[in-house]
Structure formats: C-alpha cells, structure tokens
Amino acid sequence: MFLYRDIFKKSFFITWKHKQLWFFGIFAALLSGFNQCSMSMKSMSEDWNSSIFSATSFFYSKVIATGSFWAKLASVFQRDPVHALIFTAFMLVLLAIFLFLLWLAVISQAGLINNGARILVGGKNETNTIGGGLKAGMKNFWPVLTFDIIAAGLISFFSILVGLPLIFLTIQADFSLYLLYVLLFVLFIPLALIVSFLAKYAICFVVLKGERFVDAFVEAYRLFEKNWLISIEVALIVFMIEFIFIVAIGLLFLILAIPYIFLAKALSLAIIMVLGINSFFPWAIIVGLILAIILLALCGAVLTVFKTVVWTDVFVRLVDKKGGLSKIVRLAARLRK
C-alpha cells in the first residue's frame, strides 16, 4: 500500500542514519541557492589604487558603461594593463569557482539520488561510498544539468509572466490588470509545478534507470500523467515539512544568538577591564557568524537530503511497484463505503 507516513518516516531515518549523504546534500542545496545568491560590497579602508575592487570599478567605468566594448577593451589594456589584468584574472577566478560549484552541485544531486535509491532498495544495512555517488553523478552530469537548466528556465519564465501585471499595477491601478494577474497565476503556477515534477522524475529515470535524455522525459511525462495527484499530495506535504523546519531553524538561531551575544559582550567588557584590549567583541561576532553559516549549511544539507530521498522513494514505489493510490482517492473510497 502507498502510505505517505511510511515514505516520510523512512526518509527521515535514512537522512539521520546515513550521514555520508549530507556531503551530497551540502552541494546539491546550491542548486536551489544560485538564484537567491546576492553580493553586497561596502567601502573598505584598504588602498583602492591596488585593490581588486578598484580595478573592477575602474574597468567597468572605462569599458562597459561607455559602450564600444571591444574598442574600449583594447584601449584600456593599452593604457592601464595592470587594472585590466587584475580585473580579468578576478573575473576568471570567479567564473572558475562558479563552474566548479555548479559541476559539484549537479553531480551531488545525481549521487544523492543514486545512493539514496540503493539504501531504499537494499535496506538499512546498505552502505554507499561518497566515491560511488560521485561516479554516478559524473556519469549522468550532462542530462541532469540539462534538465535542471530547462526546469529553472521555464519556471523563471513563468514567474516573470505572472509578475508582469504587478509591474504595471505599480504605475496605474486597474481592475483588468488585477484580473490578468489572477488568470496568469492560475495558468502558469500549475505549469511551473508540472515542470518541476517532470524534471524530478526525468532525472530519476536518467540516474536510476539509465534512460536516454528524450526517453527519460517521455517516461517522466507518462509517470506524472498516471500519478499527478500523488505528486501534488507529496509536494504539499514536503512544503509543509520544509516550512516547519525553516521556522524551527529560525527560532533556534534566535535562541542561540541572544545568549551568545550577551556572553560575548560580557567577556569583552571583562577583557577590556583586565587587559585593556578592545577587539574581542568584533572577533566574537565574526566567529559567531562563521558558526551560524556552518550550522545553516548543515541544516540545508539535511533538508535537501530528506527531500531528495522522499522523491526518490516516491519514484521507486511508482515505477517498481507500478503506482499507487493517492490519499484523496483512498478517502473517497472509504466515504463511498
């Protein structure tokens, strides 16, 4: 019988017991974090004439902002090769880091699905190495990356279309714009969910069944068509669990931050009185932020592992056990009796 409590209970114990999966979870979580990544830069007291930030600002003002990119590029390299080379090297390093993290995130996603499925099928004593998961991820890197890019692109496109009326509403309030927003929301949000389901199932077909790209998409569509109600129910449960988890983590951070800051401030005052050193508190805050980032990364890894194992278990049950009945269908059958 297709019972959700068995799926989520089993996924929880697998996530907690098989902590080697957290390695994949840390990097697989980056796939959902790339779109939310932002960078802020503040003024610094260093020498701007020799800094990376100065080179970036100079290069932008002399090349990109003034147009004629390639002509200006050659001109800047001739007039000020030092700043140009610093900027170019900096951008190449950033690009290399981004591509490496993207590569690691994609293979971690595939490796997590592969190792999670082996544990689900092999039982609680099944063990998987990180190397085996990485090997499976590298083997399926390109199809998994392609499905991720297509899904992210389509979902972003649908989100932009839904948000367009809101832009015009900021200029002029019009009932027709409100109506258009509601219609687009009703139309495109379900489409975005369908794209997400298809991507999940297609990646599972590629990693676990060895299907080719097109065949994986076709099989994913057939699987979703037969089990769309189960997919929606699982997604709603996952969303509720994720919401509760995030709220709980937020409260935990607040609970830990208040006594930490109080203790750091007390120790700082004591050090000032005894030793006359006034730099303890800023360093304590920096250490606290580093610990918070580490804790946040671990929490994100655990949540990513749990969600991936849930969807992998759903996929295995639907494919290997030839589907199941949704909770709504089972409740309706009971009511008819």
Q: How many CB atoms lie within 10 A of CB 263?
A: 11
For residues 110 and 145, give the distance between their C-alpha atoms in angstroms, rounded to a whole number.
Answer: 10
**Per-residue pLDDT, 52:** 45
**Per-residue pLDDT, 27:** 92
217 vs 110, 223, 224, 228, CA distance in Å? Answer: 16, 10, 10, 15
**Per-residue pLDDT, 82:** 78
**Per-residue pLDDT, 51:** 46
| 6: region left, alpha or beta (phi > 0 left; psi from -120 to 50 alpha) | alpha
Digits of tens for pLDDT over the chain (337 positions)? 567 889 999 999 999 999 999 999 999 998 765 444 433 333 333 344 444 445 555 555 555 555 556 666 677 677 777 777 887 888 899 999 999 999 999 999 999 999 999 999 876 555 568 888 999 999 999 999 999 999 999 988 888 887 777 666 666 667 777 777 778 888 888 898 999 999 999 999 999 999 999 999 999 999 999 999 999 999 999 999 999 999 999 999 999 999 999 998 898 888 888 887 777 888 889 999 999 999 999 999 999 999 999 999 999 999 987 667 777 877 777 777 6
**Per-residue pLDDT, 61:** 57
- C-alpha torsion angle, residues 65, 70, 76, 79 (rounded to 10): -140
Give the pTM: 0.82
Q: How many CB atoms lie within 10 A of CB 315?
A: 24
Burial of 324 (0-12, 13-18, 19+ CB in 10 A): middle
**Per-residue pLDDT, 188:** 85
249 vs 107, 308, 316, CA distance in Å? Answer: 27, 19, 30
**Per-residue pLDDT, 163:** 73
**Per-residue pLDDT, 181:** 75
For residue 87, give both structure tokens.
């900027």
For residue 11, give both structure tokens.
């996924």
What are the domain boundaries of the chain? 4-29+47-336
For residue 105, give both structure tokens.
């995130």
**Per-residue pLDDT, 136:** 93
Burial of 312 (0-12, 13-18, 19+ CB in 10 A): buried
Burial of 116 (0-12, 13-18, 19+ CB in 10 A): buried
**Per-residue pLDDT, 28:** 92
For residues 133 and 117, give the distance between their C-alpha atoms in angstroms, rounded to a whole number.
Answer: 11
